[in-house]
Amino acid sequence: MKTKSLAAIFVFVFTTFLGGCGGGGGGGAAPPPPPPPPPAPTSAAGIWDGQAVTPDVSDIATSFEFNDADGFILGNAPFTADFQGGVTESRGIGALYTDGVFSWHVDTAGGSVDFATPGNALTFSTRTVTLGDNATIQVLDENGVEISSTVVSNAFQQINVNRDLGAGESLIGSVVITVGAGEIVIDGFTFGFVSTASTEDIGCLFAPNNEFVCVIADATTGDFVGGANGTFQLNGSQVTGTGNIYAGPGERLADGSTIAPLTISAGTLVQDTSLNLTVESSGLSIAVTSSFDTSYNRGAALATVQATYTTTVIFDDMSSFDIDAAGVISGQTATGCVLSGQVAVIDATANAYDVNLVADAATCGALSGDYDGLGASQDETVMDDTFIFAVFVDGQLMIVGQALK
């Protein structure tokens, strides 16, 4: 089964024909020509398909080549490491450095490093300053649970911690340094985040009511990986907007969260051709390029989507539901989640529908809620045999469905 994506731009075109009757004879002057029609107004509404390119997050790396005695933060928010305790300094003793001529010295007051965004890779070197000093370094996960504990020796040893998010391992959240006697040094410190670099398929439906939804899929496998919703504005050819981005099941956003605010900080519309957006979310700037899908121009009618949808996938949960002649939804998933709701036409000239979907509290468990969003009629085998929708409890939950007649 193919997964369709949505995205769009819609233009209302009004033409005015102004005519006049020419005079009869008599040699009178010819009537003036009619004025030109007014320019067609534009609206950032329609179906757009394209790609979303997300950059990778840079590692935090330091050899502490600076003086500091008050604590310091490295990186760029929200990808930061907050170092507390100790001092960074140079003592002119080569044995206390692995890189450069500075290191981070921590005494019996202890020290810590807290990562604003959890990561999956940590490497640094450490040693006690003199024989007889003693210390322990703990690496904790994002929930404060110990991943590793190391007793520091009098010769440099390297601490390496790597976590596999795909295997269900929790990410690294902090480092705690406890010095029982004397002093230790830390040098050659690197902290890495889960890779965010990706080029994914994206489809967005920008509706005539200035709402939008987007569905994001893995460009190679076609698997659903996330979605977005919000509202947009158009000023000339410039598009802006706000909303939320949601990670799909088993996925995380760049900052480790599953839901985060988004801002369309810049967007450029070329009528009936392209919609390119810069989306800021989770500390990253995502570039979206898309092209107009002419299926948006089919228009909308409840008669088009009225059907029994026998093959529907909602987060891998097979289901079936009906949309009746009045747009009323009724159905149930394979796991017993009872669905109800309403489909409504937003504008008869645009292939965009308002969708309300209620997942019953008693039968739907964690997915229960009153969802609102958008949908569009699409083609799987023949025209209009599929209804794709993305609905949201804003800032909390998202359901994406592909329903086949």
Write a three-state SS string for 242-268.
EEEEEECCCCCCCCCCCEEEEEEEEEE
Q: Between the CA of residue 345 and those of 31, 37, 215, 319, 351, what are the distances in Å?
A: 45, 30, 21, 24, 9
DSSP 3-state assignment of 167? helix
Cα–Cα dist 130/209, whole Å: 70
pTM metric for this prediction? 0.81
Phi, psi (deg, nearest 5) at residue 95: -70, -10
Q: What is the pLDDT of residues 14-23, one digit of tens each?
A: 222 222 333 3
Model confidence at 8, pLDDT cuts 50, 70, 90, reads very low
Residues β-bridged to residue 81: 74, 115
Phi, psi (deg, nearest 5) at residue 352: -150, 130
Q: What is the pLDDT of residues 52-72, one digit of tens each?
A: 999 999 999 999 999 999 999
What would the two tokens of residue 219 be?
A: 């460009």
Model confidence at 7, pLDDT cuts 50, 70, 90, reads very low
Cα–Cα dist 75/339, whole Å: 46
Q: What is the pLDDT of residues 72-116, one digit of tens each?
A: 999 999 999 999 999 999 999 999 999 999 999 999 999 999 999
The answer to whether 180 and 135 have CB atoms below 8 angstroms apart is yes
Mean pLDDT of the chain: 90
Nearest to 236 by CA among 266, 213, 212: 266
